[in-house]
A and B are shown apart, each in its own frame.
Chain A
Amino acid sequence: MSEKLTKVQFTNLDKILFPKITITKAQVIEYYIKIAPKMLKFLANRPLVLTRFPDGVDKQGFYEKDAPEGTPSWVKTATLYSETAKRDVHYILCNDLDTLIWLANLAAIEIHIPLSTVDHRDKPDFAFFDVDPEPPARYEDAAEVALLLKEKLDQLGLEPYVKTSGKKGLHVLIPIVREYTFRETRAFVHTVGKQLSKEHAMVVSEFSETKRPGKVFIDYLQNSHGRTMVCPYSVRVAPTATVSTPLDWSEVKKRIKPAEFNILNVTSLWKDPWKDIFENKQKLEVK
């Protein structure tokens, strides 16, 4: 190639990473290249946690926080103390297209982000409701609870955003001004969850209740320092390569199934329901 479009040296492009639907690493990389214009803003300046499956999603994979050996010098990292690992970790920061392509070439299928950026680690810029159905509750039940949650937040004068988790649940987020601590966002999300669980028998809001079959758990605990959520537009480690896809609330109303959004079709969605999310930072004071 005479022109050099990327610093990344591709390797093992024909390796099949999703054997059930025969998706190669080249296709995973192509997906991340195509989705980059929508995705990069969610990655910027957030220390990443990766799940890598170099031999395919049906084989053993691993979590990775530390920049791996052989990380090129142009990849930005941030050295931070990890509470869970009890040591300094060289986290990868993905602030440009090349780094995203490099991650894809590492078969970092899932990319997880914290709810705060590296320069303000204790001040989240999202409040996060993880709406998780416990079987036999299904996606349809999670969608119903997410809509109840939206109604409640609307009443509070807030504008929540929603994405599929890429598995069975939905993620509801409020972009917030950087004024609150995790303790405060956690308390807020927990309070809203408790209120909903009082009003609707299907909803549970306490960790101790999560394994109750047929209920939908609104998880508030992810609003903590060092916790992460799967990044919008990240591919999931699932047989059909589903994608955690930002939705319009109308799509939740229509109960469009999360299984319909995967690596092969998400890049052809022309809508960007989360386009203005960072221009819509909200205060959690209840009006």
Chain B
Amino acid sequence: MAKKPKPAQPSRRAIWSGSITIGLVNVPVKLYAMIYDRGINFHFLHQTDNQPLKYERVCTKDGKIVPWQEVAKGYEVAKNEYVVFDKEELEAVKPESDKRIRIDKFVDYFSVDPTYFNTTYALMPDKSNDAYSLLLAALQKMGKAGVGRITLRTKEYPVLVHAYKGALVLTTLRYAYDVVDPQAFEELKELKAPEKAELDLAMKIVKDLSGEFDITEYEDTYKQKVEELIAKKLKGEKIVVEKPAEEEVKGLMVALRETLKQLEKK
């Protein structure tokens, strides 16, 4: 089996610096990336000579490559009809990065559904240890999170500033218009309330299977397998493609191994 991947390591470079502002109070902070997508990445190669491929912008009319200087931005208002902008026009309406995370109010952290969570950044004190630990302690003690706004590069995001594992972190949120209300699905209109006996049984099952949340119980088995294959390929081993057993059969084999062990003990 492949060894467990090491947890992601902190980056040394802040991607943003500024202040958390709560009314008249300022807490200078630096923002660091905290979430990485470390799944397996492949590059496209040309099959005949294994050379990497690159992308070009090609004009759909004459098939010629278009240099960056000749690229404009268009907003499609109807099929094949565009409103065209040049760089300066868009630059003028860009939200200003004012180096502030403005907190508008505090809410109970658990009242915010993770549906709205986009990505999370680590907030580190920027010569502001006292103010930082004061805010952190207050949020921890009260289970609250600050809701506010930040402008990162060219985009303004709603954000949540909250405590996570003894640090302040910032989670960018999705706008309401990006999220579907599940009640809009027709299927839910046919739902009936379950009967009590059934509900009791379902609740018993849930109770029996209840435990502590531990994300490390889940492993990216695809990544592990591909990494094993990479190691083999590097050693020059030939890879035999095995047809994997069906998912169900795999589950049964796990149960079977456990039962055989128990029967052996008897």
Contacts and interface: CB of A to CB of B under 8 A. Distances in A.
Interface stretch (A73-81, A123-131, A262-270): A262-270
Nearest to B257: A5
Contacts of B260: 5, 97
A254 B208 CA distance: 18
B258 interface: yes
Contacts of A33: 252, 255-256, 259
Interface string B226-256: 0000000000000000000110110111011
A30 B253 CA distance: 9
Contacts of B263: 36-37, 40, 97
B205 interface: yes
A13 interface: yes
Given A5-B256, A5-B260, A6-B256, A259 B248 contact: no
B258 A34 contact: yes
A264 B203 CA distance: 12
B249 A1 contact: yes
Contacts, number: 60
B256 A259 contact: no
| Chain B interface bracket (under 10, 10 to 19, 20 to 34, 35 or more) | 20 to 34
B37 interface: no
A1 B253 CA distance: 9
Given A13-B246, A37-B263, A30 B198 contact: no
Contacts of A257: 197, 200
A14 interface: yes
B259 A36 contact: yes
A29 B257 CA distance: 14
Closest 10 pairs (CB-CB, A-B): A26-B248, A13-B248, A33-B255, A37-B262, A5-B256, A30-B255, A33-B259, A36-B259, A268-B208, A34-B255
13 contacts: A6-B256, A13-B252, A26-B249, A26-B252, A30-B251, A30-B255, A33-B259, A34-B255, A34-B259, A37-B262, A37-B263, A40-B263, A260-B204
